[in-house]
Structure 1
């Protein structure tokens, strides 16, 4: 039988996926080479194996529509899976404008939901996802395929991507490289050899072909589609007869005169159709890859039964296929040829008629818009439809929305409502500069007074999204003065202005504007305005009074509720996490930042990386370094619109240095963000100290502390002080140490927290000598929940006791320091403490607490052990994440770490290993 080797390769991949070792397969071949037949066989086999089969084909008509290819694949399961139906609502753009700030962020949110859905399905059983015609896949679907293939070997997933040629665009070319780099199989379909052609013909005709028929089949070049087309056409015309045990051509046929290219065959086939059939199928081809019988009937004004008869015949001949959910052309090329055979004026008229006919139905807005764009000028009914459906169209197909709205507003007398929709669509499509220009022009022309507040709000957002905060403030001035702006709207404008003022260091103005925003919001009874005003005040207070900032942030959240605007310039959830972090309420900060991560994943928010970074910082301070690294990996595994990669890499490097490993990142000399800057410099300084140069480490940290001002207040970076003090003490600079201690004491008096008190006591102890300040530092750090710093205190106390002659006390303090470092696996700190105390005449006399082994169940952290136990029970990553208050990405990071430590390769193996593991005594 033909394609035996290829079929067995795909079936073997399916069996591997069922056993828990997923794999991706790239199938590539020319037109008519037999790709579809091979996928038919694979899909049937996967169903026999009990796999959930998701199969579909990308459509050249829908390449501009986000997630069009994914929607085609998922269509077979819609209405049969509650989780999928919920995600389908997101695919259709339900509530998107109130959840996300741009199309890109909405697509991120949808991608996360789809990945979570895939995780849930894969936890229940093996899945086969088969995408045909991938050369027409939209970019959003390509990104999802990339993400699905990440760590595919750990899950029971078979991912098959089939295309005419994968290198037909940057996105697909990137997908090909990414999948192959991840270990995907590559299957290139070549022409069938002659024995396979003979076998195919024999199966089709019921007898092996004779010599003349073999010559005819030889002109097909080994392409199954060519062969099937020839056999079907000649058999239908009675030109092939079976006699004497062979199938042979009739004597009137010249086997050498048949055209070879499929294009010629398809055109000849179309030319031989009766005129009425050809016109109906041409119209169907113009209208798209899928065929809506009622739509074709209405556009052509043909009786429904007449169109149904043609469609039935086309299904019978294999021109169309019914996959159980829609009718479509079996071959994209056939549709292309039929489409091109229609004269341009007729094609335009068909699109125009289809668009106008569909405006009266509850059809997909993107389908209507595509027809209207291809149909020429817009009439009054078209414009009314567009005004009513612009928001839905903007979310579903932003590119189409922008182009159609630009056409609709080309006339200076265009409806002002459409201009506002155009500005919103441009913002959603990620073009704030053009949105600003259109908004400014629309405001200059004037028009509908009711549109002015919305238009000005969009103008402010366009400025903010370009980072032009001063221009945003300037744009707010006329907005609050406008007679068309309500009191509540003015309060929202003022709250936004206050945030921008704080972020541009105009603090006194910001406070006054924020107070006015809250007062106006209360007068108007506008909860959202009150929330924005409170949030603005919280931003301003964060540098001076964390407790007050936290109280205002929680008040803002209570007013904003779950309807937090996606266009806020500050994330209240992240701000709450930062406040709790600065107040040493680390467990609460971990919970708040988990909420921030989930909120940003759900909305595709720009603060997702920020939330992971803050959460990683919390885990670093808590000494849960593997958890911190999982958060770092999660933060790096996604978009980074605010540029926080240096912060994440710096945290990873801090942990690496403490553990005695070389730093893994080339950190920049400077960054634009305050937190990023001090963390990067801190990591660099610690690496230098670990190499034996504490003086240079102090030189790196000293200017960072000395120059801190404004939003870069020392209150936000005091965690570097113990390391700065230790490096300065190594150089004997006691003047600097006393100054550092005094500065920390002042800061701690203004905003007292245990960690600040601990840092002040630590620096005072190094400046003055004696063990008592260090004991106070240890107590404060223990209260703050900072185990690394607690061990710092014990180490410094041991040195102070040794210098005072109390060697027994020094040995005990050293033991406590080594025990603390051991729990953290901080081998550099252990080595440093031993060396310093050895120089002071103190030996610990013991190996100290041993770190965890590198491999096996005992190598797992507490979090990893819990994740492993839950995964082994069959829970999906999203379900584990919900139970442990983590993100799905972080759970996946933990799973990868668990499998590496246990020398396993899949979740199935993990479940088996967990079941076979003896119960602990």
Structure 2
């Protein structure tokens, strides 16, 4: 263990954070220090202490050369090759880090990064359920953005977890990724540890440790010029020992007589250059070559580059470790000081460094090393030859996934090398570059390059068809639906397009036509895609066409739409193909909700969340909207709000987060808490017509206006949502607003609009009856006529559908109808049923409204009963929260709880946070103890 001088206070801070984390109260720590102040040595001691405490220690170091490689920094912590084989969860993450299957399941690097982030967080959750965890990242100033996002996400609820997160960096102008991470951690109360210069006592202790003897005052005076920098202290002492200016005799170090160099300490760069001079000449080539290759030293690769047997390098490596030049980190070696590595590398002429990078690239190619390392050396070399281009051509797909920016740069260089000389290879490289640009999230440049490539004569029909498919994707990802349809048309007219390819393209075009509201054309194209796909025995084409047709039928025949969506899922296989404009899993959940098959919708929507998380799907927020929608209808409003919070905490490429805001706001209004939710929503984007709740923001605002007594304003907001549905969407997809709209129309005396509303609902019931639709028709009809009979029937329909709020609506309206008819007993009975329904939902505003309307109708409501369940304590937990608490106490991780409860890992975490806030606890460990203590008390009570 390296000696640590003068860092007792900082070490104690870190040890205290480790003890707290081991006890279940996680801590984040930011360690900052100038170069040479000993932060790495401090982490060495901390890692040993964490291991002593029984924590799983994950330690890594970010590298300057890997700043642009996604997840490079975090992978040095988690992807330990020694444990991958024994840990299936880690093996899954390692496969994602290698990019396996990414092009099949993700559309861009951003989607893949989202999937990989979720997988790493899932892995961390599983590890944390088994033992406390310490994650220590050194040299974080070189951290890549994706790794910083993972660390930021880990720290969000760190105080609840047995997790120690330590990020150590130099005190320099940080990179953007580190800067954002530091702000995030500081905002969550991270412990800030800044290493100061050593005081006189620490300098004395360090000197005596290095010299193995007591230091005389003259020796200590020599060290004043070090300015308290421990690296300077060691360098000055090493030089003094070497030149004989410090002598040790009988346990005491003295200055030798004679002249000595005076002045301030030399810069670290000069010290590093001096260290190079101390390396024996016969070893210098090996050490310099290792420095050129990067901060991490792979002995086998170094031996191959030098064309030297590994055994001959053993003395070099041993001496470098003994001298402190290299340090062992698990199965690899790295330079202790990156500055030393830089000096060693730059001591070689530029031409030699270029040649070494070229040689390293070739060697790594032959050893099948990670493609991003090969590419990094080829790019550093600055020029490619034919062999390099051939490697790039063969390994393009993997490189595109792992390092898209590197891939784009190298492919542009490769095209410059081969252009005009090898037409076939040039055509392949152009296609690779288009794919790389699409993966990197640059569809504009991808479209330009694809069109340029198509303008060049190509004898290979398959090449042109593939380019047109890529061009279709480039147009589609820019939202250029007409251009997409035109590109599909050109491909269909090309005789080189096979029947299967034509069927797939026609299915893509069908969806584009439907999004443009060209419904008849879209359905015809979808039918043709299915028929041609069947004729070509191409399941993918059948799946794409079936999905497009099912999407179209959500406007008119939900049963058939569901059948087609399930067929599409079966044909397309697991996951979400990146070239689909509609997510089959969320569409299935939507159809089941609309058909009142809520239990099945629960499972389907949970699957939609899991699949989108696993693949980084762009429909993840949409899946959370579906979950919130379902929970709202079921009356599980705390769960609905948990889904809203979780869904808002992530990327939203489709702009659907406004719908999450709206469901949260609806619950807030019903509970008499308007404005207490998620804040104001982002403006809704243009709707893709994929669900029936595109007017949900207006619905939430209208209900808020009604609660404030502004019925006119409520009408202005809500009525257009229904009136325009025949243009923007089918009325069938918006009928859930009709009970609220009918109540507003009644209050304003708008009899004509109310009659029209009933007429449309009657047509919808005749076309496709489901219990909730029957209920809305009877409720609105009873509201219009004042007849209690349809209102009583509506309550039955809503009970069958599993919509408790709407059942309360029907009972409330029935109470008013009975009261106006003079049937006071029936009115009071119906009112009691309405209030009971509202009480079960904690719907305070609805209960107040029902009582006020009953009084206006001449019905005496009696004393006001209990309205709300407790807000704090164990009694405040919902059924879902109680089950989550029991699972936590049983030692299950968030992913394991999620799998058992049809939830996502993030939603489980949201529930855990809510539970801890309600019961006044701060960590999962405390929660588990409290649940077990409560169970013990209950058992003793039963025995007595």
Determine the C-alpha separation between the residues in 1 that align with 2:258 and 2:586: 81
Aligned residue runs from structure 1 range 214-613, under 5 A: 214-236=220-242, 238-243=244-249, 245-252=251-258, 254=260, 256=262, 259-302=265-308, 304-410=310-416, 411-413=418-420, 415=425, 416-447=427-458, 448-562=460-574, 564-613=576-625
Determine the C-alpha separation between the residues in 2 that align with 1:642 and 1:671: 8
Q: CA deviation at 1:469?
A: 1.2
What's the counterpart of residue 32 of structure 2?
28
**Conservation of the 8 A alpha-carbon contact between 2:658 and 2:683:** no
What's the counterpart of residue 95 of structure 2?
89
**Conservation of the 8 A alpha-carbon contact between 1:748 and 1:756:** yes
Question: Which of 194, 198, 216 is the aligned partner of 1:192?
Answer: 198
**Which residues of structure 2 form unaligned runs of 5+?**
none
TM-score normalized with structure 1 length: 0.98
What's the counterpart of residue 21 of structure 2?
17
**Conservation of the 8 A alpha-carbon contact between 2:575 and 2:615:** no
What's the counterpart of residue 902 of structure 2?
885
Q: Does 1:829 align with 2:846?
A: yes
Q: CA deviation at 1:306?
A: 4.2
What's the counterpart of residue 183 of structure 1?
189
Determine the C-alpha separation between the residues in 1 that align with 2:259 and 2:316: 29
**Conservation of the 8 A alpha-carbon contact between 2:461 and 2:497:** no
What's the counterpart of residue 909 of structure 1?
926
Q: CA deviation at 1:517?
A: 0.8
| Stretch deviating more after TM superposition (806-815 or 649-658) | 806-815
Q: 1:654 to 1:564 in 2, by over 3 A?
A: closer
Q: 1:706 to 1:913 in 2, by over 3 A?
A: same
Q: Does 1:124 align with 2:130?
A: yes
**Conservation of the 8 A alpha-carbon contact between 1:24 and 1:160:** yes
Determine the C-alpha separation between the residues in 1 that align with 2:57 and 2:843: 48
1:543 alignment partner, SS class: coil
**Conservation of the 8 A alpha-carbon contact between 1:554 and 1:576:** yes
Determine the C-alpha separation between the residues in 2 that align with 1:320 and 1:668: 52
Give the number of equivalent residue pairs. 921
2:725 alignment partner, SS class: coil
**Conservation of the 8 A alpha-carbon contact between 2:622 and 2:656:** yes
What's the counterpart of residue 816 of structure 2?
799
Q: CA deviation at 1:303?
A: 5.2
Determine the C-alpha separation between the residues in 1 that align with 2:540 and 2:172: 49
Q: CA deviation at 1:229?
A: 2.4
Determine the C-alpha separation between the residues in 2 that align with 1:659 and 1:808: 28
Q: 1:70 to 1:540 in 2, by over 3 A?
A: same
| Stretch deviating more after TM superposition (395-404 or 71-80) | 71-80
Question: Which of 611, 625, 638 is the aligned partner of 2:637?
Answer: 625
**Conservation of the 8 A alpha-carbon contact between 1:527 and 1:559:** yes
Deviations 1:657-709 (A, max 9, x none): 00000223224675422656411001101111111112221121112211223
What's the counterpart of residue 207 of structure 1?
213
Deviations 1:514-546 (A, max 9, x none): 111111111111111111111111011111111
Q: Does 1:767 align with 2:784?
A: yes
Determine the C-alpha separation between the residues in 2 that align with 1:684 and 1:850: 24
What's the counterpart of residue 139 of structure 2?
133
Q: CA deviation at 1:168?
A: 1.3
**Conservation of the 8 A alpha-carbon contact between 1:695 and 1:728:** no
Q: Does 1:666 align with 2:680?
A: yes
Q: Does 1:819 align with 2:823?
A: no
What's the counterpart of residue 738 of structure 2?
721
Q: CA deviation at 1:755?
A: 1.1
| Stretch deviating more after TM superposition (34-43 or 507-516) | 507-516
Determine the C-alpha separation between the residues in 2 that align with 1:20 and 1:776: 54
What's the counterpart of residue 41 of structure 2?
37
TM-score normalized with structure 2 length: 0.95
Deviations 1:712-754 (A, max 9, x none): 2221111111111111111122222111111111122112111
Q: Does 1:146 align with 2:148?
A: no
**Conservation of the 8 A alpha-carbon contact between 1:577 and 1:593:** yes
Determine the C-alpha separation between the residues in 2 that align with 1:614 and 1:247: 75
**Conservation of the 8 A alpha-carbon contact between 1:209 and 1:246:** yes
Q: CA deviation at 1:882?
A: 0.5
**Conservation of the 8 A alpha-carbon contact between 1:123 and 1:874:** yes
1:605 alignment partner, SS class: coil
Q: CA deviation at 1:483?
A: 2.7
| Stretch deviating more after TM superposition (661-670 or 474-483) | 661-670
Determine the C-alpha separation between the residues in 2 that align with 1:827 and 1:563: 42
| Stretch deviating more after TM superposition (72-81 or 808-817) | 72-81
Q: 1:607 to 1:233 in 2, by over 3 A?
A: same
Q: CA deviation at 1:202?
A: 1.8
What's the counterpart of residue 161 of structure 1?
167
**Conservation of the 8 A alpha-carbon contact between 1:671 and 1:677:** no
Q: Does 1:49 align with 2:56?
A: no
**Conservation of the 8 A alpha-carbon contact between 1:576 and 1:592:** yes
Q: Does 1:706 align with 2:723?
A: yes
**Conservation of the 8 A alpha-carbon contact between 2:576 and 2:617:** no
Determine the C-alpha separation between the residues in 2 that align with 1:245 and 1:265: 28
What's the counterpart of residue 796 of structure 2?
779
1:128 alignment partner, SS class: strand
Q: CA deviation at 1:24?
A: 0.2
Determine the C-alpha separation between the residues in 1 that align with 2:933 and 2:666: 37
**Conservation of the 8 A alpha-carbon contact between 2:656 and 2:685:** no
Aligned residue runs from structure 1 range 105-124, under 5 A: 105-124=111-130
**Conservation of the 8 A alpha-carbon contact between 1:28 and 1:189:** yes
| Stretch deviating more after TM superposition (198-207 or 776-785) | 198-207
Q: CA deviation at 1:80?
A: 4.5
**Conservation of the 8 A alpha-carbon contact between 1:259 and 1:265:** no
**Conservation of the 8 A alpha-carbon contact between 2:526 and 2:546:** yes
Q: CA deviation at 1:226?
A: 1.6
Determine the C-alpha separation between the residues in 1 that align with 2:130 and 2:593: 38
Determine the C-alpha separation between the residues in 2 that align with 1:259 and 1:706: 80
Determine the C-alpha separation between the residues in 2 that align with 1:202 and 1:777: 89
Q: Does 1:695 align with 2:707?
A: no
Deviations 1:94-115 (A, max 9, x none): 1111121111111110110110
1:54 alignment partner, SS class: strand
Question: Which of 626, 631, 634 is the aligned partner of 2:646?
Answer: 634
Determine the C-alpha separation between the residues in 2 that align with 1:823 and 1:817: 10
Determine the C-alpha separation between the residues in 1 that align with 2:481 and 2:716: 35
1:445 alignment partner, SS class: coil
Deviations 1:872-901 (A, max 9, x none): 111000000001111101100110111111
Determine the C-alpha separation between the residues in 2 that align with 1:19 and 1:317: 39
**Conservation of the 8 A alpha-carbon contact between 1:134 and 1:166:** no
Q: CA deviation at 1:244?
A: 5.6
Q: CA deviation at 1:3?
A: 0.5
Question: Which of 617, 627, 646 is the aligned partner of 2:658?
Answer: 646
**Which residues of structure 1 form unaligned runs of 5+?**
none
Query: Aligned-pair RMSD on alpha carbons?
Result: 1.7
